[in-house]
Structure 1
Amino acid sequence: MADRDLLPQNDFSRRIIHLDMDAFYASVEMRDRPELAGKAVVIARDPRKTGGHGVVATANYRARKYGVGSAMAAVQALKLIPARELVFVEPDFAKYRRVSGQVHDLMHELTDQIESVALDEAYLDVTRSKMPDKSPLQLASWLQERIFQDLRLTSSFGVSYNKFLAKMGSEYAKPFGRSYISPDRAQAFLDRQEIKNFPGIGKKTQERLQKEGVLTGGDLRAYGLDRLLKNFKKAGYYMALHAYGIDLSPVRASRQRKSLGKERTFEPVIYDQDRARAYLRDFSKTVAAELDQRQLLARVIILKLRDRNFKTITRRQMIQPSRDPDLFYQQAAELLDKEPEFLAEGIRLLGLSAGELEEAHYQEISLFADE
């Protein structure tokens, strides 16, 4: 029996869009700061000001041509990019969240079946859209054009009958590109793709496959289901599915977040308890405000600590369902007091999260409101 006969059947009736903003953080900064035009923009703290510390959040395409990418040590960008072109921009995640919200508002004009993967990436199920007179490709093109016209930002999209192929398409099209992978063309498209382009196949797995002559999607199919299962277990099964363009996972709309939090990394580290408490109070207010906006309550407060030696711990405290910033601060401060060795060693990272979230089914009122 052929491998394909052992695998599940595709659902060709679905229409999925994968939207991916192009170099999102860097593009927002370039839009807001015209003087960055023509520069290699790296979103990270300048390592010349942090003693060589810091990690790249993202980089624009000019910087990427020099080999700079996300999660790279920021100091490496100094070695790769000529000084006359390089500009470090400290990330402003509050701004990026606001812009992401504007992008999502436009998405909701097409459908409410939206699965957000990150601030700059989402899947949309437009099988039954709010614009039934438009084809999936027309819907995605409309969205891309509106983002460019309204927000002055570029994006790329892929359209197909499942999430895996839609994402493959958007990655294939970047930047400011568009692709449509139809059922009759999917196999030919996958067969010629390098395995490094397959989402979910990491570098170590790529190296193992390449040693056995597996370089493309076509090679992956030829490698065979039995060998994939034997050598890669569960991951091998998913590789076989993807080699045939099979993905039955749904677009999970409005996924309930398990926690909301805020954290900060300190360079240099901090030793002062009052300073740490001040940050916890600020974090408490920020987290409580976001819970209030989302009409959520928290049952757990979580403190995260990392010292200068990169030892990291989390401590949890159960509370009655609440979004009271004073309560959050009180619990976090008490947890901090129980870990004096972290202040003694120096705190590199401090974070506060609210967990085990639930919807608030009542309206909070004050018994002492002004008449």
Structure 2
Amino acid sequence: MSVSLRKIIHLDMDAFFAAVEQRDNSKYQNKPIIVGGAPDSRGVVATCNYEARKYGIHSAMPSSRAFSLCPKAIFVKPRFAIYKEVSFAIRQIFYQYTALVEPVSLDEAYLDVSHSELCQGSATRIAQTIKQQILSEVGLVASAGISYNKFLAKIASDMDKPDGLYLITPEQGQDFVARLPIGKFHGVGKATERKMHDLGIKNGADLKQFSLPVLQQNFGKSALFFFNIAQGIDERPIRVDRESKSIGTETTYSQDLVQSNEIYQQLTELLNKALLKVYAKKLYARTLTIKVKYHNFQQITRSLTFNKPIKSQLAAESVFKQLLCKDRIGESKIRLLGITLSTLEKQTDYYQQMDLFD
């Protein structure tokens, strides 16, 4: 099918976690809400509503900094189990309109409605109808971007937030990209943006002037993506079955950890949580990675790959000691621990007969 004939919708829930909290607690209406760590902790902002964003607060900001910007903000501890339930309900609405749904996170997804005959085949009307259905059935507001590829649909969904609905047609695609500041390009982080600026690339029109070989010299594997996007081209399909490459969890502690037995106990608990996530996806993992951040913010990671799938926390402490034998465990204060499981494989009956950490 020609790229110009595709109809892609990007749905993005507005301030999702905070919006759920406001929906469920009438006392939070019209007040700055911050979901994340407490203001007197080392936690960070998971998300905040638009009332809080007026004060310059944003995701990943330290909670203490957010409090200094807005002392009257209400800090709410995340309820991830509830957010997952709400996300599932929203996703079921998506499937009423197309089977081609690519969830990106709990609060956003791509939909391919190229062949849908609903709403007279209008992707814009489908997006509008989905937004209305989410509001009426779930009580939350979503923004939608509609275009002929994923890149432009994603950009479009950010245009009129909150409660946005924005269309970029095939005829508008190249001109839209040409005017778009390079920092607004999805996939361009701060470091890449600085490198682009150093090359004189301030927007899509500047990017379009660079040949593929020159871009490859500067951006390696990302060069082809940038080259195509400058022409308004993004042929990435909707990936219905997104396979996880790694699954993990981490915790920043309100008080530094010092005792080695407590550190190994916390690592065991993190491993359990990560394993539950792996099993929920009907997967097994063979690579274990430990992340340690010391009180001075120095950070290390240590990994070990096993011949057999990791199936439980058996003998976990001995494995942790093996991985961290040279890293001053019990001597230096630790503020953060994390566990990541990778080299993921689908579960089979054969694996169910195996033990762990042999």
TM value normalised by structure 2: 0.83
In 1: Cα distance, 2:281 partner to 2:198 partner: 50
Could you tell me which residue of structure 1 aligns to residue 210 of structure 2?
225
1:11 aligns with 2:3: yes
Instruction: Give the Cα–Cα distance (whole angstroms) in 2 for the partners of residues 29 and 267 of structure 1.
Output: 24
Matched to 2:51, the amino acid is R
**Separation (CA, whole Å) in 2 of partners of 1:18 and 1:45:** 29
Distance 2:274 2:195 in 1: 44
What's the RMSD between the two structures over aligned residues?
3.4
Of 10, 21, 45 in structure 1, the residue corresponding to residue 37 of structure 2 is 45
Pairwise mapping of residues 72-151 of structure 1 onto structure 2 (< 5 A)? Answer: 72-81=61-70, 83-84=71-72, 86-129=73-116, 134-151=121-138
Deviates more, 1:155-164 or 1:88-97: 88-97
Does residue 1:64 correspond to 2:53, yes or no? Answer: yes
Q: Distance in 2 between the 1:206 and 1:316 partners?
A: 31
In structure 1, what is the Cα distance between the partners aligned to 2:85 and 2:125? 26
Q: Which residue of 2 aligns with 1:296?
A: 283
CA 340–216 in structure 1, closer or farther in 2 if over 3 Å, else same: closer
The 3 A distance-change label for structure 1 pair 259 and 130 is: farther
Q: What displacement does 1:209 show? A: 6.6
SS in 2 for 1:356: strand
SS at the partner of 1:355?
strand
Structure 2 match to 1:282: 269
CA contact (8 A) 1:228 1:240 kept: no
CA drift of 1:342 comes to 3.1
Q: Partners in 2 of 1:237 and 1:27 — Cα distance? A: 38
Please give the alpha-carbon distance, in whole angstroms, between the structure 2 residues aligned to 1:355 and 1:25: 27
1:328, 1:142 → 2: CA distance? 53
Q: Secondary structure at the match of 2:237?
A: coil
Tell whether 2:294 aligns with 1:307. Answer: yes
- Residue 43 of structure 1 and its aligned partner are, at CA, apart by 2.4
Corresponding position of 2:356: none
1:164 aligned to which of 151, 155, 169: 151
- Distance across 2 between alignment mates of 1:147 and 1:279: 39
Partner Cα separation in structure 1 for residue 120 and residue 28 of structure 2: 41
For residues 203 and 363 of structure 1, do their structure 2 counterparts lie closer, same or farther at Cα, with a shift above 3 Å needed?
closer
Contact 2:302 2:324 in 1 (8 A): no
Q: What letter matches 1:257 in structure 2?
A: S
Name the aligned partner's letter for residue 149 of structure 1: S
Q: Which runs of 5 or more residues in structure 2 are unaligned? A: 354-358
**Once the 2 structures are TM-superposed, how far is the Cα of residue 24 of structure 1 from its aligned partner?**
1.4
State how 1:170-185 maps to structure 2 within 5 Å: 170-185=157-172
Change (3 A) 1:227 1:337: closer
Equivalent residue of 1:318, what SS? strand
Instruction: Describe the SS at the equivalent of 1:350.
Output: strand
- Percent of residue pairs identical: 34
Distance 1:140 1:325, change over 3 A: same
- What is the SS of the residue equivalent to 1:315? strand
Cα-to-partner distance string for 1:246-265 (whole Å, 9 max, x where unaligned): 11222222121122222211
Q: CA 1:128–1:358 in structure 2 vs 1: closer, same or farther (change >3 Å)?
A: farther
Return the offset for 1:123.
Answer: 1.7
Superposed CA offset, 1:88-136 (max 9, x none): 2233444433433333333233334333333222222222459596432
Alignment of 1:186-335 (within 5 A): 186-203=173-190, 217=204, 224-226=209-211, 229=214, 238-322=225-309, 324-327=311-314, 329-330=316-317, 332-335=319-322
How much has 1:167 moved relative to structure 2? 0.9
Q: Does the residue aligned with 2:22 lie in a helix, a strand or coil? A: helix
CA drift of 1:278 comes to 3.0
Q: In structure 2, what is the equivalent of residue 341 of structure 1?
A: 328
Listed as ranges, the gaps of 5+ residues in structure 1 are 1-8, 367-371
Residue matched to 1:22: 14
Partner of residue 25 from structure 2, selected from 22, 33, 47? 33
Count of aligned pairs: 351
User: Which range moved further: 55-64 or 166-175?
Assistant: 55-64
Q: Shift of the alpha carbon at 1:154?
A: 1.2
CA 1:233–1:155 in structure 2 vs 1: closer, same or farther (change >3 Å)? same
Over 3 Å counting, the alpha-carbon distance change for 1:332 and 1:19 in structure 2 is farther
Match of 1:3 in 2: none
TM-aligned CA deviation for residue 323 of structure 1? 5.2
* CA 280–168 in structure 1, closer or farther in 2 if over 3 Å, else same: same
SS of residue matched to 1:343: coil
Residues in 1 aligned to 2:230 and 2:89: alpha-carbon distance in whole angstroms: 35
Note the C-alpha offset of 1:208: 7.2
